[in-house]
A and B are shown apart, each in its own frame.
Chain A
Amino acid sequence: MDDTRTGPMDDTRTGPMDDTRTGPMDDTRTGPMVVACIRITDLRPQIEPLSGTVVREPWSTGLSPADAAALEYSFRIAEAWSGHVVVITAAPPSADAVLRDARALGATVLRIAVGSPSSDQAYVDELGSDERAMAGMIVAALAPLGRPSLVVCGDRSSDRGTGALPAFLAHELGAAQALGLVAIATTDQESMVVAERRLDGGWRERLHVPCPAVCSVEGAGVRLRRASLTATLATQRTEIPQVTAAGGPGAIRGAGSVGPAEVAVGSVRPFRPRTRVVPGPDSDDPRLRLLALTGALVAHDPPTVVGPIDAAGAADALLTFLIRHGYLDTEPVGEEAAHEGTR
């Protein structure tokens, strides 16, 4: 029967290509090291209402939007730096499918075995319990691979993630930290990235982050790329390297003597919107001034009926309204107008 089998097929039936390859999945680990430190969770865990037990289904594990964004930014920055990406997670074996996908995208992957293979509940409890020790474990596991130039994490996860891990990581590595970002981009110097963070009122601050750094990103703005079919098939049966949870906190500490480098924020003044100057009424009669101020006798704008119109039309109508009422200058707001710190 087997004699009729075709092509390059071998008896282990691994498909057209094995996990030894070139191109996007090249694994030579040259250049700066960008680490995506991600948490692989059940995206919709069942919580038993009475006991609070978290029931994770192994097949519905995946990356939260924040962790997916962290991974995507890692690839983008590693590409810009001609570096390489290492994906690390502390998780039970149910995370391996997600790690294989990351492998298919060309990353080196590493799983710190925590929890018991049979109970994901233990894993969830363990993760929540001591994030400082967790950070120590991660740094120790990364040590043999070299010193990371940048570590990117998601800023929150759906199951008990507190968002504190990146800060502990930065401490362990002696790295700068910038958390809760919406964008990270490279600069012309390899020792610096710029990052953006949301502020109130639709404003953003732009941070200059010296490397090594730990950044955490929100799940917004970018989508994780998809691996090619060839790469996906090739990594189907890849063994995921595992390290056991040893080492503990303080296994390595960044350069030891120097403290973490500081993030430069353009300006530390709080942002206050400009006040709108309304000229005082110029009557001598207090009654008239009062009337003018309250507008009691002034004819009001009738309510504006907008739409149904398309999105672009609605945006224009809104902007016109805001400009007419003095809330905006006539230029449209955009990336250029983003708060550069010095304003």
Chain B
Amino acid sequence: MSAAGGVLGSGHEVPGGIWRGISFEDRMSTVEFRVGERAHITVDSDVCRSCTTKACVTACPANLFAPTSEGGILFNYEECFECGTCYMVCNHEGAITWTYPDGGQGVVFHQG
């Protein structure tokens, strides 16, 4: 990687850096989700099996795409920011069905 990027990447070397402390669960627990009954996003794991990039796995800011041992994807819709990143980075037609949650449901930002 480039000079600028490479050096910053070494942020990992700061042992016990004060900011590394927060776990992903704690991070997500700061966000309010009014979870609806309907899964507003569904992922067809069969399509994902043939996907080599698995771009959604790292790009989803809520970390909702979990790769399974058979090469598929396990997806939970509950703690979703409704941002749209996943369907935009996915280049497999039909892998992701994306809609908004029903009115009033889903993420509620208070500090946006």
Q: Could you tell me which A residues sit within 8 Å of B by CB distance? A: 43-44, 57, 60, 223, 226, 308
The A interface is mostly helix, strand or loop, or mixed, namely loop
Nearest-neighbour CB distance to chain B for A16, whole angstroms, equals 19
Interface bits B5-39 vs A (CB < 8 Å: 1, else 0): 00000000000000000000000000010000100
Nearest Cβ distance between residue B105 and chain A, in whole angstroms?
10
B-side interface mostly? loop
Q: A57-B110, A60-B108, A223-B37 are in contact. Are A43 and B32 (CB under 8 A)?
A: yes
**Bound Cα distance from A312 to B32, whole angstroms:** 29
Q: Is the CB of B110 within 8 A of A44?
A: yes
Q: How far is the CA of A308 from the CA of B70 in the complex (A)?
A: 10
- Of chain B, the residue at the smallest CB distance from A65 is B34
B103, closest chain A residue (CB):
A226
Distance from B92 Cβ to chain A, minimum over Cβ atoms (Å)? 22
Q: 1/0 contact trace for B75-112 toward A, CB 8 Å?
A: 00000000000000000000000000011100010100
Q: Which residues of A contact B108 (CB under 8 A)?
A: 43-44, 60
* B69 sits at the interface (CB 8 A): yes
> Quick check: is B52 within 8 A (CB to CB) of the other chain?
no
B69: chain A residues within 8 A (beta carbon): 308
Given A57-B110, A60-B108: A44 in contact with B103 (beta carbons within 8 A): no
Q: Which of A60, A226, A308 contacts B110 (CB 8 A)?
A: A60
Which B residues fall within an 8 A CB radius of A? 32, 37, 68-70, 102-104, 108, 110
Q: What are 10 A-B residue pairs whose CB atoms fall within 8 Å in the complex?
A: A43-B32, A43-B108, A44-B110, A57-B110, A226-B102, A226-B103, A226-B104, A308-B68, A308-B69, A308-B70
**B68: A residues at CB distance < 8 A:** 308
Counting from the closest, the 7 A-B pairs by CB-CB distance are A44-B32, A44-B110, A308-B68, A308-B69, A223-B37, A60-B110, A43-B32
Which residue of A has the minimal Cβ distance to B72? A308
A226 contacts across to B, CB distance below 8 A: 102-104
B32 closest partner in A (C-beta): A44
Residue of B69, B104, B110 with most partner-chain A CB within 10 A: B110
Residues on the A chain within 8 Å of B70, using CB: 308
How far is B104's CA from A60's CA once the two chains are assembled, in angstroms?
A: 11
Query: Which chain B residues lie closer than 8 Å to A43 at the CB level?
Result: 32, 108
Chain A proximity of B42: nearest CB distance (Å): 14
Separation of A61 and B104 alpha carbons in the complex (Å): 13
Q: What's the least CB distance linking B70 to chain A, in Å?
A: 8
A44-B110, A60-B108 known; 13 other A-B pairs, CB under 8 Å? A43-B32, A43-B108, A44-B32, A44-B108, A57-B110, A60-B110, A223-B37, A226-B102, A226-B103, A226-B104, A308-B68, A308-B69, A308-B70
Contacts of B103 in A (CB 8 A): 226
What is the bound-complex CA distance between A44 and B110, given in angstroms?
Answer: 9
Q: Considering only CB atoms, which chain B residue lies closest to A43 in the complex? A: B32
Q: For residue A44, which residues in chain B have a CB less than 8 angstroms away from its CB?
A: 32, 108, 110
CB-based nearest B residue for A229: B103
When chains A and B are docked, how far (Å) is the Cα of A106 from the Cα of B4? 62
Residues of B within 8 A of A308 (CB): 68-70
Instruction: Select from chain B the residue with minimum beta-carbon distance to A45.
Output: B110
Contacts of B102 in A (CB 8 A): 226
Residues of B within 8 A of A57 (CB): 110
Quote the shortest CB–CB distance from A4 to chain B (angstroms). Answer: 31
CB-CB nearest in chain A for B102: A226
Chain B's closest residue to A223 (CB) is B37
Docked pose: A195 CA to B23 CA in angstroms? 41
Contacts of B104 in A (CB 8 A): 226
Assembly CA distance A308 to B32 (angstroms): 30
